[in-house]
Amino acid sequence: RSRILEKIIIRQIHDENLLDELRAEMEEMRDSYLEEEVYQLQELRRELDRSNKNCRILQYRLRKAEQKSLRVAQTGQVDGELLRSLEQDLKVAKDVSVRLHNELESVEDKRSRAEDENELLRQNIIEVEISKQALHNELERTREVKSRRRSDKCMVMIVELLMLSGRSVQVAQWLALLFLLIAGQCLCGVSSGHFLPQSKDMRPKLYRRTSHSYCSQSDPNGFSFRRHLLLKLQTATN
């Protein structure tokens, strides 16, 4: 069971490390995305400035073209240079419009991919959190099972003492003593095996030594022993 508990703890640590790596990756991706967005914004601003300059140039040429067209209307002659200039301006305007449209589509596509990647990372983090909670619950259940087994071991010790005891007063004394040890185990988290030896040859000696320390020949029914246990239990529960 300890190996299973160790594997669960190792898996939990691995999942925590994976969660930290995913968070760091998400932060790095977000910073990279923000830096890229800032760079794209600066490029768009520069392109906008160039477009404004081109617009001013086109407006200037448009005014010149209007003046020339007015002169043509007055004289009735078509200026070939004016037509070539207008065609060139129209071509430049179309090229600028197409380039800006392509850049905007590229930025929008990158933004969409970054959002999809962020959503995927969020889902991975949620799954890791769920797995971490499940491992925590499994660890708690394992601890509860170990606690129940420890209590069962204490009950086996009680049965052994009952089998070794020959008189009813001694049975009551040892039963109360073991319940006191169990109460101390529950309150302090100390295993009862620390108080009783595991060797069967040493147990009768410990029983006799403990019995003589709490009971006297003038108290065959064990009343002083019972009062002592009652005081100990009241002190432990308080």
Contacts of residue 121, Cβ cutoff 8 Å, sequence gap at least 6? 22, 25, 26, 29
Whole-angstrom CA distances from 197 to 181, 200, 201, 205 are: 13, 8, 9, 10
Q: What is the pLDDT of residue 164?
A: 56
DSSP labels, 190-210? --GGGTS-S-TTTHHHHHHHH
Nearest to 196 by CA among 140, 153, 136, 228: 153
Res. 118: pLDDT tops 50: yes
* C-alpha–C-alpha distance, residues 25 and 28, integer Å: 5
Q: Which residue has the higher pLDDT, 58 or 208?
A: 58
Q: What is the pLDDT of residue 138?
A: 82
Contacts of residue 29, Cβ cutoff 8 Å, sequence gap at least 6? 114, 117, 118, 121
Provide the residue ranges of all domains of the chain, joining segments of one domain with +.
Answer: 2-147, 165-237
